[in-house]
């Protein structure tokens, strides 16, 4: 990651990938604290654009299989994984009896690590119902659990919605 300051920039911040390097352009007179904040915002925004581009409806199942293999020893095997638009108060849901997982379309456009977290969360419910210690233990190996939860809480706070539980069944 590389931050470039530009004297010509007065207010706008932008970011893009240049090969392996992520470049964030900021106004020259921005403070260090503002820089830090904006870099986080722009990295999330960039990741969100990429997740929108990459994760279509068809790719969700493949993504689920990959996450299950990587973090759950491949033990969670959903029968169906799909986006739904009728789920506005929760990010994801899972019906273990049917092996079905549904993700809210509101996640589309969020950073990829957030979508992955919700998907992994629902996959873990195929193995452990509820949110006891056994459940969270399953998510321990995913390094961005806390960050993703923080991101989603921020979204909820911003929208002033009630906290959406990622419930096991509808």
- CA–CA distance, 87 with 161 (Å, rounded to integer): 13
Residue 113 CB: number of other CB atoms within 10 A?
17
Q: Write down the least CB distance from residue 152 to Zn ion, Å.
A: 12
Binding mask 46-85 for Zn ion (x = CB under 5 A): ----------------------------------------
Residue 147 CB: number of other CB atoms within 10 A?
14
Q: Binding segment for Zn ion among 5-13, 49-57, 137-145, 162-170 (CB under 5 A)?
A: 162-170
Residue 166 engages Zn ion in binding (rule: CB under 5 A) = yes
Helix or strand holding residue 16 (H, E): strand 14-18
Q: Write down the least CB distance from residue 121 to Zn ion, Å.
A: 5
Q: What is the token pair recorded at 150?
A: 């923080």
Residue 145 engages Zn ion in binding (rule: CB under 5 A) = no
Q: Which of 87/166 has CB closer to Zn ion?
A: 166
Residue appearing with tokens 């990622």? 166
Selection from 17, 21, 24 nearest residue 41 by Cα: 24
Q: Binding segment for Zn ion among 32-40, 106-114, 150-158, 159-167 (CB under 5 A)?
A: 159-167
Q: Binding segment for Zn ion among 29-37, 73-81, 96-104, 158-166 (CB under 5 A)?
A: 158-166
Q: How many residues bind Zn ion (CB under 5 A)?
A: 1
Residue 93 engages Zn ion in binding (rule: CB under 5 A) = no
Strand partners, 102: 82, 93
- CA–CA distance, 79 with 69 (Å, rounded to integer): 15
Q: Strand 80-84 relative to strand 100-104: parallel, antiparallel, unpaired? A: parallel
Q: Write down the least CB distance from residue 170 to Zn ion, Å.
A: 13
Residues forming the site for Zn ion (CB under 5 A): 166
């Amino acid at each position: 990651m590389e931050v470039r300051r530009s004297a010509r920039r007065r207010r706008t911040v932008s970011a893009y990938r240049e090969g392996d390097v992520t470049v964030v352009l900021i106004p020259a007179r921005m403070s260090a604290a503002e820089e830090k904040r904006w870099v986080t915002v722009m990295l999330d925004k960039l990741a969100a654009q990429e997740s929108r581009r990459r994760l279509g409806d068809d790719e969700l199942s493949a993504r689920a299989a990959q996450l299950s293999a990587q973090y759950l020893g491949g033990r969670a095997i959903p029968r169906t994984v799909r986006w739904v638009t009728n789920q506005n108060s929760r990010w994801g849901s899972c019906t273990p009896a049917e092996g079905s997982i549904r993700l809210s379309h509101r996640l589309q456009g969020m950073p990829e690590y957030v979508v992955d977290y919700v998907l992994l969360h629902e996959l873990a419910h195929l193995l452990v119902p509820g949110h006891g210690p056994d459940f969270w233990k399953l998510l321990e190996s995913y390094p961005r659990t806390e960050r993703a939860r923080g991101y989603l809480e921020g979204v909820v706070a911003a929208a002033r919605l009630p906290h959406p539980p990622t419930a096991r069944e509808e």
